[in-house]
Amino acid sequence: MPTLVMKFGGTSVANLDRIARAAKRVALEVGKGYDVIVIVSAMSGKTNELVGWVNETSPLYDAREYDAIVSSGENVTAGLMALRLQEMGIPARSWQGWQVPVKTTSAHGAARIEEIPSDNINQKFGEGMKVAVVAGFQGISPEGRITTLGRGGSDTTAVAFAAAFEAERCDIYTDVDGVYTTDPRITSKARKLDKIAFEEMLELASLGAKVLQTRSVELAMRYNVKLRVLSSFEEPSDDAGTLVCAEEQIMESNVVSGVAYSREEAKMTLVTIDDKPGIAASIFGPLSEAGVNVDMIVQNISETNYQGHAGGVTDMTFSCPIDQKMRAEQALNEAKEKGLINFDRLEADTEVAKVSVVGIGMRSHAGVAAKMFEVLSNEGINIKVIATSEIKISVLIDRKYMELAVQALHDAFDLDKA
């Protein structure tokens, strides 16, 4: 029998009625002849509640016990889904991560999947089981402890199972009906995409789009797993949702496929540092060790030359998530105290946002950057930092202009048109 993986997010299993609705969708796929692996998240809000209990009980908690506690929400959902399917006459069984087993690293709270043996579940399929309901977000470490994969980890679980079982497709059910050219809450002209390439989806996910977790898209691209993003609240249809697939499966695409944004950015500038070989390593080494996720980087010659600098001086600017600002400041100030780097002052701007245009068509079309910069200029929006890759251009701007920038770029690149 062909295998299909279906993943249901927290809003899709938020209560018993929604679990029953999701179970009906699973039954439809069983009726088509599939052996189905269902990956479930915890009920909406449950993981936050469990995390709150942990923090209230032990602010400096043991990460191993944290994982044991916060993974329990998925276990409840998996059991309830299996019971619902059994009530519908479908042979189903729930599986926790350790029972499969989903083998992971020992990095509690941010473990990575290393292997998913298929023997146990395939044996049960051979004995007549039609649906394996697996608790997402969790696995087991080499030491035999429960681990979790980080927020959004159920998406990664689903793709990993699709790869391990060579599934025909991995359907991600959520509260949106697909991947849009941008956030429909910002512009009503946002259009649902029928297909999007792995690379485009990976860029959009990393740049702020919340539809899929970045690691899940990386896995899908590596193992060529077809992903379909669709809503669990709309009527089933063969052409529903958005297919995330290899570039070769898309006949023709727009130069730009989408506009992404992130409000939660901070711009950090080290003013007056020595301009010498190794200075960048001296700055970004401590940031890396502190777990700061640096994104955009700009180095420019400082106009000011301070006494005590033997050679030239420069300024270094980078962006990072706003919730990592204090960690970045601490790491850089400690590096200065240790004599690893020297700077005049550290400036932080937390009133910025990142706006990006993404599209595989940019590889073969010139002028995208010029057009983007012209559009922003016409709207009176100043660009603070620029970063590019083969298929994306990102700019850092004042946060108050973020929605205006997204709307203007969406219109300029005709993203409302197929």
Can you tell me the distance from the alpha carbon of 131 to that of 92, in angstroms, rounded to the nearest whole number?
5
Can you tell me the distance from the alpha carbon of 27 to that of 92, in angstroms, rounded to the nearest whole number?
11
Q: What are phi and psi of 321, to 5 degrees?
A: -60, 140
74 is in an annotated binding site: yes
Can you tell me the distance from the alpha carbon of 177 to that of 311, in angstroms, rounded to the nearest whole number?
57
417 is in an annotated binding site: no
267 is in an annotated binding site: no
Sheet holding 138-140, edge to edge: 113-115, 103-104, 138-140, 146-148
Is the sign of the CA dihedral 399, 400, 401, 406 positive or negative?
positive
Under 8 Å CB-to-CB from 140, ≥6 apart: which residues? 97, 98, 101, 102, 103, 104, 146, 147
211 is in an annotated binding site: yes
Under 8 Å CB-to-CB from 224, ≥6 apart: which residues? 246
Can you tell me the distance from the alpha carbon of 54 to that of 108, in angstroms, rounded to the nearest whole number?
14
185 is in an annotated binding site: yes
DSSP character at residue 361: G
Burial of 305 (0-12, 13-18, 19+ CB in 10 A): exposed
The token duo for 151 is: 């927020």
Tell me which residue of 186, 223, 225 sits closest to 416, measured CA to CA.
186
Can you tell me the distance from the alpha carbon of 226 to that of 195, in angstroms, rounded to the nearest whole number?
11
The amino acid occupying position 246 is: A
180 is in an annotated binding site: yes
DSSP character at residue 14: S
C-beta of residue 286 within 8 angstroms of C-beta of residue 369: no
175 is in an annotated binding site: yes
Distances (CA, A) of 367 to 207, 254, 352: 21, 14, 26
8 is in an annotated binding site: yes
CA 228 to chain centre: 15
Q: Name the CA radius of gyration of the chain, rounded.
A: 24
The alpha-helical segments, DSSP class H, found in 130-213 are 153-164, 198-206
Can you tell me the distance from the alpha carbon of 323 to that of 306, in angstroms, rounded to the nearest whole number?
32
Query: Annotated binding site for ATP: which residue ranges?
Result: 7-10, 174-175, 180, 185, 210-211
Query: Annotated binding site for substrate: which residue ranges?
Result: 47, 74
Query: Annotated binding site: which residue ranges?
Result: 7-10, 47, 74, 174-175, 180, 185, 210-211
